[in-house]
Chains A and B, each alone.
Chain A
């Protein structure tokens, strides 16, 4: 999906964007997207 969204010249960096999204998700939700009740990381 990233490959389709990214401009042609940036597609080679798709993995870098993917892992940047991973970092952003961790920053916003450190316990994961679907955290267990009362979970603390």
Chain B
């Protein structure tokens, strides 16, 4: 009983300091009713869902994955296929293959579509994960990147089902700032619960010392598969939300640029902690919005900087600096909860 209470308090203690400011910021943004600000905040929070998803696997296992955006893409397309209104489907998918013709005959409400898409992506993640989690280091990075290319090629070339290189249209635009907030709160809660769970702690043990972990009977592939599947499902939630937020997208929307952004956010914030994932998104998003504004409108006395690609260049530079100066990211792998504990213990020791 005591163990249960302490596990409950541990994940709440980990998640609450991250969730509370996000809720407050969202309420403040909603009160301002500034459409541009609402759009930027919604995008940032949906990206945060994907970054937290990546953290669940890469952060806890120490194995880098470039494939999480592939799962976001699968979920976005699945949810779109399930939720586009029935009357639009025959004209959008006239060549739907026979074994998938049932998709054209019905339409799900958006929340149900997202849930089914996430569950379907979870099944794909298990199938792909069984072989992939056996890899680590550089080969894991290359294999997950190869998987991203495979998914992108299949989606781009399977015109009958995905509309190929054409934009996916008719997707219900129902995701709002509040949906994004719900998604990010759910993602952080799932990540925190996993981090303090037995599986999460075993996975962290394999990150710290794989041989020591194996010597006490931890199965590395099994623990990685659990983390991988959960990670892909959270990234899929972000992908499905993103699809219903932007409502028109193609395979290039979920390409290398988004992958770079998601990985850069996690590395800049600090891959080893959940706080790092959240801080990384906030820092990168604020910086990229600042430079994008400079590129397009200028800022106060600063005139428009006519330099296409400035934002990406500055982000790449920041990523380089962080990797050189602080390889473990801004947060250095510590959680907000740890800061509170340290302050409390330093106060106690000084008194």
Interface residues of A, Cβ cutoff 8 Å to B: 12-13, 15-16, 19-20, 22-23, 26-27, 30-31, 41
Could you say which residues of chain B place their CB within 8 Å of the CB of A27?
Answer: 131-132, 134-135, 143
B138 within 8 A of A: yes
Q: Is the CB of A22 within 8 A of B142?
A: yes
Q: What 4 additional pairs, Cβ within 8 angstroms, besides A13-B154, A27-B131?
A: A16-B150, A26-B135, A26-B143, A30-B135
- A24 shortest CB reach to chain B, Å: 8
Please tell me which one of the listed residues B132, B134, B139, B157 contacts residue A13 in the complex, with CB atoms under 8 A apart.
B157
Docked complex Cα distance between A33 and B164 (Å) = 34
Query: A-B pairs with the 5 shortest C-beta distances?
Result: A16-B153, A19-B146, A12-B157, A30-B139, A15-B153
B301 within 8 A of A: no
- A27 shortest CB reach to chain B, Å: 5
Could you say which residues of chain B place their CB within 8 Å of the CB of A13?
Answer: 153-154, 157-158
Please tell me which one of the listed residues B131, B136, B138, B153 contacts residue A19 in the complex, with CB atoms under 8 A apart.
B153
Docked complex Cα distance between A15 and B153 (Å) = 7
B300 within 8 A of A: no
- A17 shortest CB reach to chain B, Å: 9
- A41 shortest CB reach to chain B, Å: 5
Please tell me which one of the listed residues A19, A30, A41 contacts residue B149 in the complex, with CB atoms under 8 A apart.
A19
Q: Is the CB of B132 within 8 A of A23?
A: yes
- A39 shortest CB reach to chain B, Å: 11
What 0/1 readout, one digit per residue, does chain B (42-61) give for beta carbons within 8 Å of chain A?
00000000000000000000
What 0/1 readout, one digit per residue, does chain B (90-124) give for beta carbons within 8 Å of chain A?
00000000000000000000000000000000000
- A5 shortest CB reach to chain B, Å: 17
Docked complex Cα distance between A13 and B149 (Å) = 11
Docked complex Cα distance between A22 and B149 (Å) = 11
B147 within 8 A of A: yes
Q: Is the CB of B154 within 8 A of A26?
A: no
Q: Is the CB of B139 within 8 A of A41?
A: yes
Docked complex Cα distance between A10 and B237 (Å) = 30
Could you say which residues of chain A place their CB within 8 Å of the CB of B138?
Answer: 41
Docked complex Cα distance between A26 and B140 (Å) = 8
Docked complex Cα distance between A38 and B150 (Å) = 31
What 0/1 readout, one digit per residue, does chain B (148-162) give for beta carbons within 8 Å of chain A?
011001100110000
| B159: nearest chain-A partner, CB-CB | A12
Docked complex Cα distance between A14 and B74 (Å) = 20
Please tell me which one of the listed residues B132, B146, B157 contacts residue A22 in the complex, with CB atoms under 8 A apart.
B146
Could you say which residues of chain A place their CB within 8 Å of the CB of B143?
Answer: 22-23, 26-27
Docked complex Cα distance between A26 and B153 (Å) = 20
| B149: nearest chain-A partner, CB-CB | A19
Q: Is the CB of B134 within 8 A of A20?
A: no
Please tell me which one of the listed residues B147, B153, B154 contacts residue A23 in the complex, with CB atoms under 8 A apart.
B147
Could you say which residues of chain A place their CB within 8 Å of the CB of B137?
Answer: 41
In the complex, 18 of the A-B residue pairs with CB atoms within 8 angstroms, ordered by the A residue number, are A13-B154, A13-B158, A15-B149, A16-B149, A16-B153, A19-B147, A19-B149, A20-B150, A23-B143, A23-B150, A26-B135, A27-B131, A27-B132, A27-B135, A30-B135, A31-B139, A41-B137, A41-B139
